[in-house]
Amino acid sequence: MLLRSLAVLLLAAVVAGCGFQLRGAQSAALPYKTLHIALPETSEVRIWLERYIRASGTTTLVDNAKEAEAIFQQLSDNRQKTILSVNAQGRIREHRLQLTYRFRIVNAKGQEIVPPNELSLSRDLTYDDSNVLAKDQEERLLWRDMTSELVSQIMRRLSLIKPKDPNQEDDE
């Protein structure tokens, strides 16, 4: 029993000593003190971004772009549904949902501090004529899941990308 407890304690010390940490809100700490999200208030991406940023606790969201150290700008949001396969009768069997999103971060002067980034996500969805309502609901859930994953990837990118100083570029 003592040997087993010692082994567990040793394993815990090794895991703690190697820097292992669960991914969570702390991993998404942004390098900006204040941030303005230049999206409509009803935008699903904005709603999810605000949740993630508030959960991180290190960045304050501001309503006025002139008060913000950084401004999140959406460059494009393309959502596409294409036919992936058909059966022998020519009926659709599968769809592919594709989401391509581009964004950048600028300062209050409009100078770019994080260059344009593009994220692409796709999901395949089977289709069945006898379950139209259920498949419609499944499609909406997949779009929502993709938006959540998109914002998660945006937060990871913003926390890892070191913002450039636009004033240094002007001097060169």
**How many beta carbons lie within 10 A of that of residue 110, not counting itself?**
10
Q: Which residues contact 135 (CB under 8 A, 6 or more apart)?
A: 125, 126, 127, 128
* Residue 171 pLDDT grade (very low, low, confident, very high; cuts 50, 70, 90): very low
The whole-number pLDDT of residue 21 equals 59
Token pair of 41 as six digits: 């208030």
Q: What is the pTM of this model?
A: 0.75
Residue 36 within any structural domain of the chain: yes
In single-letter form, the type of residue at position 109 comes to: K
Tally the residues of the chain: 172
Query: Which CATH number covers residue 88?
Result: 3.30.160.150
Mean pLDDT of 91-113: 92
Q: Is residue 52 in a domain? A: yes
Work out how many domains the chain is built from and give that number.
1
Q: Judge contact between 78 and 84, C-beta under 8 A.
A: no
113-156 confidence digits (pLDDT tens): 889 999 999 999 998 888 889 999 999 999 999 999 999 999 99
